[in-house]
Amino acid sequence: MIGWAIVAAIVVAIASLVVSATLSTTIYGVPVAAAFPIAALQALAVPLALLRPTIAAGATVSAVIALALVQTGGGHAPWPWAVPTIITHAIVIGLLGVQARPRLGLAAWAAAIAGTVVIGFVHPRGTDETAVNIIVTASVSGVALAAGTVLREWRSIRGQLIRERAVSFDEHERRILAEEKTRIARELHDVVAHSMSIINVQATSAVYRHHDVSPPVAREFDQIAAAARGAIYELRGLLAVLREEGVTQQLTPQPGLADIPALVLATERSGIEIEYRRTGDPDLHVGHAVGLAAYRIVQEALSNAIRHAPRSAITVTCDCDENGLTVKIVNAPPDLLSTFDSAGHGVVGMRERAAAAGGTIEIGPTPEGGFAVTARLPLRHENDE
């Protein structure tokens, strides 16, 4: 719109230059050497009003007074304001009202009117005609100034309204997000936390409710109860993050690469044959975000292997070198076939974990008939402090 406004202003300026210079020469008898530069100065004020309002104000006032002075001997033509001069000056004053502060447009309007009033007294022609001419000019240019000021205020108010609507929309979106997070937290608490609490209570009280429980079975129940309590503890942390906006600190230390052996050992106690291997340079430091991603990938891969390939042997390998960290979880061909859904949330979660840490992951069957999860992660991520 600004580009088209400048083009329109240039067209108006050219038309004003041609008409004003021609009428000044033919009707008022002004020499071309004087009429053309003065008309050009006023015409130039039209585009300048959009780009340099202060310069445009000075240019239009100077051109108006100069034209009134050089046109004093023009007979019965309108004076001290010629019709093209009135039109061009009103356009400039209106644009000043739109682009500049109200004081600048008002000062230019008052200076031009006052200057022509003084010229009317110094070079009297017809008192009534001169007064009418000045009054008409003052009215026309005053209306243009008022219209430009109103347009500027309307544009300012409209811009504020648009900004307020954007802020209101953002606040609405944040409120909806907060409400959705609260609803999810409530559902997690009502369904998952309740179920895990029941599992914890049943596993803890099983040895007391059944007196003939053998020691290995009792230890199994203790492990189930401990796993349920750990899940409840982590779930509480997730619920706190969902319920509170802006939570930045973790409620408990997050697991990392060093915790994978303990995870493997805990899984092995459930009767699964698992082999853990750590290769590469043990002195290389792995960032917290990368270590957490590796831990969660191993955790989910072990859960999938136990669920979909019961009693199959599992190998977990963590290889760390200067090129990054490679985590590979492979399970042997299962004794009992089970359907594997590659579109489950667990697989999606592993892919998201790897991508969030800046790495890649490959998930699929092995040539031997088993299944493999291979994640390649950098040593550190930009989220690591």
Are 16 and 156 part of one and the same domain? yes
209-232 mean pLDDT = 82
DSSP lists the bridge partners of residue 328 as 317, 374
Structure tokens at 201: 């209570």
Are 21 and 159 part of one and the same domain? yes
Are 124 and 273 part of one and the same domain? no
Is residue 320 a contact partner of residue 284, using CB atoms and an 8 Å limit?
yes
Are 141 and 29 part of one and the same domain? yes
0.85 surpassed by pTM: no
262 inside domain: yes
Residue type for 315, please? T
Higher pLDDT, 139 or 368: 139
Are 125 and 261 part of one and the same domain? no
242 inside domain: no
pLDDT at 55: 95
11-33 mean pLDDT = 90
pLDDT at 208: 77
270 inside domain: yes
Contacts of 151 (CB under 8 A, 6+ apart): 97, 98
pLDDT tens sequence across 186-215: 666 656 766 776 787 778 777 777 777 888
Higher pLDDT, 178 or 246: 178
pLDDT at 173: 82
217-240 mean pLDDT = 79
305-315 mean pLDDT = 80
Q: How far apart are the first and last CA of the chain?
A: 47
70 inside domain: yes
* Of the candidate ranges 37-51, 157-171, 332-346, the one whose mean pLDDT is the lowest: 332-346
144-163 mean pLDDT = 91
173 inside domain: no
pLDDT at 251: 47
Structure tokens at 259: 């915790």
Residue 284's domain is classified under what CATH number?
3.30.565.10
pLDDT at 345: 58
Higher pLDDT, 14 or 221: 14
Q: For 144, phi and psi rounded to 5 degrees?
A: -60, -40
201 inside domain: no
Are 19 and 137 part of one and the same domain? yes
The last residue of a domain, from among 165, 199, 217: 165
Q: How many domains does the chain have?
A: 2
The count of other CB atoms within 10 Å of the CB of residue 138 is: 19
Selection from 53-62, 101-110, 115-124, 186-195 with the highest mean pLDDT: 53-62
* Of the candidate ranges 8-12, 84-88, 310-314, the one whose mean pLDDT is the lowest: 310-314
CA 229, 234, 237, 239: dihedral to nearest 10 degrees?
-90
Higher pLDDT, 232 or 16: 16
Are 11 and 157 part of one and the same domain? yes
Task: Give the structural domain span for 14.
Answer: 2-165
340-360 mean pLDDT = 75
311, pLDDT greater than 90: no
The whole-chain average pLDDT of the chain stands at: 83
Are 54 and 157 part of one and the same domain? yes
The last residue of a domain, from among 148, 165, 182: 165
Q: How far apart are CA 108 and CA 207, in angstroms?
A: 97
* Of the candidate ranges 168-182, 238-252, 352-366, the one whose mean pLDDT is the lowest: 238-252
Are 153 and 10 part of one and the same domain? yes
pLDDT tier at 247 (50, 70, 90 boundaries)? Answer: very low
Between vectors from CA 64 to CA 62 and to CA 69, what angle results, nearest 5°?
95
57-71 mean pLDDT = 92
pLDDT tier at 339 (50, 70, 90 boundaries)? Answer: very low
* Of the candidate ranges 222-236, 280-294, 337-351, the one whose mean pLDDT is the lowest: 337-351
The last residue of a domain, from among 125, 147, 165: 165
Are 159 and 262 part of one and the same domain? no
pLDDT at 315: 93
Contacts of 1 (CB under 8 A, 6+ apart): none
Higher pLDDT, 175 or 24: 24
Please name the residue ranges forming H helices in the chain: 2-26, 32-51, 53-70, 83-99, 102-122, 127-187, 194-209, 215-243, 260-268, 288-308, 345-356
341 inside domain: yes
184 inside domain: no
pLDDT at 253: 64
344, pLDDT greater than 60: no
Are 294 and 153 part of one and the same domain? no
Are 288 and 143 part of one and the same domain? no
